[in-house]
């Protein structure tokens, strides 16, 4: 039974979109923290003591602690303790993440989530260390949770498709721009009340990043390109150094001899001849996408023609 569940999770992770992958990473991390904290650490340290694993994954506001735990700048945004905390975050991430996939393609969700989490950390860290003590005392430390990254995804979705409608239980149909505004107002009220001030400041950092990301994208500056390029280099490093393909001994490698690649000259020539037309087609598509995004910004998604919606959907799937 457990094997089939695990196989299903692996299949969804390998073949699902980036939103599904983000949700699974957060859920698996939460489950691991719960199991390690309560099954392994609690009998050793005693009931009621803080989860040691959470202490080493949550990001501190104190600069000296951060110096010895630099990884927490990333790990905090995948760390949760309470079930309702992760449930609420993952539901919002999935709903709004799917909207981003439909409008912007599959490769921009993770950059928005991670960059939003980093911006949230900066809001939290500098507020704690630079604001007057009578305010920073309410911020608290350390911080954990996906909320800053999730709010970046929410704001990005609301900025690219403000009139997109979700049907909420007990409320009915509502445009996502009003959902985004409502969440921002809740954060601002919580800051005024001194309730989890650091977390809500981080949420606003995510909001700023999500909105700025879309505005820059409309101007032709795609921040996801550099992010994905760096992420691919990291993946290639781990693959090349830790993959099973590299576990063979030097002797075995020598026996195999050099690997040679043969290319079909006719196909290479065709690709060379068509490269110019491919670049022109890509440029034309980008111009059309920019025009559609401008139209969405001015009049909303519903103002698009059927052909424009089909074109946008087709391009997002290709990306």
Residues 202-247 have pLDDT tens digits of 999 999 999 999 999 999 899 998 888 888 887 777 767 765 545 4
> Six-digit token pair at 105?
């393609």
Residue whose entry in the numeric block shows the structure tokens 């954060």: 187
Least confident span in 146-150, 164-168, 209-213, 310-314: 310-314
What average pLDDT does range 73-97 have in this prediction?
A: 93
Residue 44: inside a domain: yes
Check which CATH number belongs to the domain holding 115 and give it.
1.20.1540.10
Residue 163: inside a domain: yes
What average pLDDT does range 36-51 have in this prediction?
A: 58
Residues 118-162 have pLDDT tens digits of 999 999 999 888 877 666 667 777 899 999 999 999 999 999 999
Residue 220: inside a domain: yes
Q: Quick check: 249 pLDDT over 70? A: no
Residue 59: what are its φ and ψ, rounded to 5°? -90, 130
- pLDDT range class, residue 88, cuts 50, 70, 90: very high
Q: Quick check: 299 pLDDT over 70? A: no
Least confident span in 129-133, 195-199, 281-285, 296-300: 281-285
300: number of Cβ within 10 Å: 15
The more confident residue out of 221 and 37 is 221
In terms of Cα–Cα distance, which of 23, 144, 21, 139 is closest to 82?
144
Q: Is the dihedral of CA 9, 15, 16, 21 positive or negative?
A: positive
Residue 80: inside a domain: yes
> To 5 degrees, how large is the angle CA 152–CA 180–CA 89?
55
Q: Quick check: 104 pLDDT over 60? A: yes
- pLDDT range class, residue 250, cuts 50, 70, 90: very low
Domain count within the chain: 1
Residues 254-269 have pLDDT tens digits of 444 444 343 444 444 4
Residue 236: inside a domain: no
Q: Quick check: 170 pLDDT over 70? A: yes
Residues 54-65 have pLDDT tens digits of 888 999 998 899
- Domain residues for the domain of 78 are 2-225
> Six-digit token pair at 23?
């949700």
Residue 204: inside a domain: yes
Residue 206: inside a domain: yes
Residue 256: inside a domain: no
**What is the rounded distance in angstroms from the CA atom of residue 167 to the CA atom of residue 175?**
9
> Six-digit token pair at 7?
């196989």
């Amino acid at each position: 039974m457990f094997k089939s569940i695990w196989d299903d999770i692996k299949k969804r992770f390998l073949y699902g979109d980036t939103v599904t992958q983000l949700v699974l990473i957060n859920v698996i991390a939460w489950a691991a923290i719960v199991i390690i904290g309560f099954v392994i650490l609690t009998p050793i340290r005693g009931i009621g003591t803080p989860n040691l694993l959470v202490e080493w994954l949550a990001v501190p506001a104190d600069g000296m602690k951060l110096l010895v735990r630099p990884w927490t700048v990333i790990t905090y945004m995948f760390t949760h303790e309470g079930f309702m905390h992760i449930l609420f975050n993952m539901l919002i991430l999935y709903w709004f993440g799917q909207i981003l996939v439909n409008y912007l393609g599959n490769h921009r969700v993770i950059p928005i989530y991670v960059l939003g989490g980093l911006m949230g950390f900066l809001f939290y860290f500098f507020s704690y260390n630079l604001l007057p003590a009578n305010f920073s005392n309410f911020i608290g430390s350390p911080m954990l949770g996906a909320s800053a990254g999730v709010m970046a995804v929410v704001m990005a979705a609301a900025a690219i498709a403000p009139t997109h409608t979700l049907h909420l239980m007990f409320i009915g149909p509502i445009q996502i721009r009003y959902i985004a505004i409502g969440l921002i107002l809740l954060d601002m009220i919580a800051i005024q009340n001194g309730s989890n001030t650091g977390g809500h400041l981080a949420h606003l950092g995510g909001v700023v990043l999500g909105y700025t990301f879309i505005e820059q994208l409309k101007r032709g500056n795609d921040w996801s390109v550099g992010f994905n390029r760096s992420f691919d280099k990291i993946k290639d490093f781990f693959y090349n150094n830790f993959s099973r393909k590299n576990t063979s001994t030097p002797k075995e490698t020598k026996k195999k001899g050099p690997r040679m690649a043969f290319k079909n000259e006719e196909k290479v020539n065709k690709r060379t001849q068509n490269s110019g037309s491919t670049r022109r087609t890509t440029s034309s598509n980008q111009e059309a996408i920019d025009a559609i995004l401008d139209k969405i910004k001015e009049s909303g998604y519903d103002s698009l023609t059927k052909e424009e919606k089909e074109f946008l959907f087709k391009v997002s799937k290709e990306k």
